[in-house]
Amino acid sequence: MYENLYNELLNNLNDGNKCVLITYLKFNENKLGDIEDKFFLTEENIIKKDKNLDNDIYEKINDSISNGKIDITYIDDNKAILIEPFFPKPRLFVFGGGHIAKPLVEFASKVGFSITVIDDRPYFANSTRFPAAEKVICEDFQKSFNLINFKKSDFVVIITRGHRHDKLVLSNVIKNNLSYIGMIGSRRRVRGMMEELISEGYSHEALSKVNSPIGLDIGAITPEEISISIVSELISFKNKRNSNSKKFAYPEFDKELFLEISKEPAIPRAILTIVSSKGSVPRKPGAKMVSYFTGQTLGSIGGGCSESDVLTTARGIMRDKGFLIQKVDMTGDVAESLGMVCGGTMDVIIEVF
């Protein structure tokens, strides 16, 4: 029913648009609720108020896209609106395919970055060396910029094999307003390069945004340790500096899961989403999974007994259409009896459409 909607949402996210998915819910007493409507708005739609919604709803939507958090707004005792923010997968461009780039790409991919590696040497710029990269460009560094369309949300790491290449890449990169620019090198070498660029007319303001020496200071020595320090800094910029809200959390976006939801199912299935939580829980609000009548699943809302209970409920309603919100209790005697290490509660919406 809504598969095409999720496909359109995925396309907008792939195009670099922040979006908010809106679901109108009608609660029915002691039975499955109804999904009355579902649509999404891009950040531009929200700014222009393209949809005829009350101002207080737009305020909730703006809050959600500002702090990156899912929200349920109750209209009355029987109706509510589920607001889910989705941000594009952050793109990381790694200039240089040497010994640090290899673990860097692996680690950055695992924490959610979509990665492009650029190097001018075929031996270092190939998908066999970087299986976790979504794209590998083997090209002269100067010419590679003709193949890249930078966005404000992009991250750049400069770890080429020498001063000349680093300077060439940096002089091109700083012309763009990006979320993060980091360059490897000693303080002395970096200071000298900055002085050269300033003498060539580049502004102090643009150069001051470059993070160099790159990475958090954890005393890193090996390529793997240096990569961890760089990825840690990338995570910090992604999560802490992506919003004016102190409570900002970069919303989860599992592309593979979205691709699955956007397909017409051959057998009954349910979409499970954590909509709220309190205390210590294995996954935070926004985490999703797909469950099929056959028992096949994709994604996770935490695993263990808590997930199993929700999956059992989901299987029981899969032949119908609508939704249920199930509370999962992992506190006190409940958690102790099940051997859980968590100590919180979470609400999970089960959607069937």
Residue with tokens 């859980």: 340
pLDDT of residue 341: 56
Q: Distance between CA atoms of 68 and 20, rounded to whole angstroms?
A: 10
Q: Give the residue extent of every domain in the chain.
A: 3-87+251-352, 91-240
pLDDT digits (tens, 9 = 90+) for 155-213: 999 999 988 999 999 999 999 999 999 999 888 888 999 999 999 999 898 999 999 98
pTM for this predicted structure: 0.81
pLDDT of residue 104: 98
pLDDT of residue 186: 87
Q: How many CB atoms lie within 10 A of CB 89?
A: 18
Q: Distance between CA atoms of 196 and 82, rounded to whole angstroms?
A: 53
Q: How many CB atoms lie within 10 A of CB 155?
A: 22
pLDDT of residue 241: 63
CATH of domain 91-240: 3.40.50.720
Residue 163 structure tokens = 């001063």
Q: Distance between CA atoms of 55 and 58, rounded to whole angstroms?
A: 5
Helices (H), the chain: 3-14, 43-48, 55-67, 101-110, 141-144, 163-173, 187-199, 204-208, 223-240, 255-261, 304-317, 332-338
Angle, CA of 31, 22 and 73, to the nearest 5°: 65
pLDDT of residue 338: 53
pLDDT of residue 248: 82
Q: Distance between CA atoms of 309 and 21, rounded to whole angstroms?
A: 26
pLDDT digits (tens, 9 = 90+) for 315-337: 999 999 999 999 998 876 555 55
Q: Which amino acid is at 319?
A: R
Q: How many residues in the chain?
A: 353
Beta bridge partners of 73: 81
What DSSP letter does each residue of 239-290 carry, written as one string? HHSS-S-TT--PPP--HHHHHHHTSPPSS-EEEEEEEEEESS-SS-TT-EEE
> pLDDT below 70 — which residues of the chain?
241-246, 332-342
Start-to-end Cα distance in the chain? 6
pLDDT of residue 132: 97
DSSP letter assigned to residue 99: T
